[in-house]
Amino acid sequence: MNQQHQDERARIRQAMDRLLSGQATASNGSLTVVALAAEAGVHRMALLRRHTDLKNEFYERVRTETRQVPEPERRLRETVSKLKETVARQNAEIEELRQLVTRLTLASAVLTHERDRHAGPDPVSNNVVPLPRPTT
């Protein structure tokens, strides 16, 4: 590793310590990668691409030292929970619609049967009059 890379890693580790101790100086103090990058004075993508091990270390320290769930994980858990509720509602609606289709199909069959049973002979068939052929 070159010196610049090592200095960047050292700044990130110092920023971790400040954030976890609640002594943020250059960020809003939230326990997120964005705040860590701001606190360390590095671009957020540096943490997400070059220093993924430090990002993971930060979230692990957040989890163990503060006994908190990291913000991205909390948001993901909320999203998963909402999606599970949505899927459950949609499954219930699908089942309700399937039952409705069954009931409507049965009602249609009963009505068709009743119509056919009560209908007599076709009244139009015995009064058909052929038209004369046109003369040319």
Where are the chain's structural domains? Answer: 3-68, 75-115
Contact 39, 32 (CB under 8 A): no
Exposed (0-12), middle (13-18) or buried (19+): which is 133, by Cβ within 10 Å?
A: exposed
Q: Estimate to the nearest angstrom the gap between the alpha carbon of 58 and the chain centroid.
A: 27
Q: Among the ranges 39-53, 60-74, 106-120, which has the highest mean pLDDT value? A: 39-53
Is 90 exceeded by the pLDDT of residue 93?
Answer: yes
Mean pLDDT confidence for 94-115 = 94
CA distance 48 to 44: 7
- What does pTM read for this prediction? 0.54
Considering the chain, what percentage of its residues have pLDDT values greater than 70?
93
Mean pLDDT confidence for 89-113 = 95
